Amino acid sequence: MDSVAFEDVSVNFSQEEWALLAPSQKKLYRDVMQETFKNLVSIEAIRRDSVKVKKVVNVEKPSVPVSV
């Protein structure tokens, strides 16, 4: 799976473009970018936890089979 960076999903406005936006558009932009950032942080946290779990599973091999 390819990595995704904030820059890959963000939209950047020039100062001139930003000045043309209505206040409601600026608020929407901020809300969407904040949610996008939170989602990317969440995905990264999940990915890191998954890597930790894989490392633990690979390291801790029981000598006796475990019943589930």
Query: In this structure, which amino acid lies at residue 19?
Result: A
Place of tokens 């990264």: 44
Nearest in space to 3 (alpha carbons), one of 42, 43, 35, 52: 43
Q: What average pLDDT does the segment 10-31 reach?
A: 93
Residue 45's pLDDT band (cuts 50, 70, 90): confident
Question: CA 54 to CA 60: how far, in whole Å?
Answer: 10
Domain ranges of the chain: 6-55
Per the CB < 8 A criterion, the answer to whether 4 and 43 are in contact is yes
Q: What tokens were used for 25?
A: 């558009």
Q: What average pLDDT does the segment 8-34 reach?
A: 91
Place of tokens 């890191």: 48
What predicted TM-score, i.e. pTM, was given to this entire model?
0.56
Q: What average pLDDT does the segment 24-52 reach?
A: 82
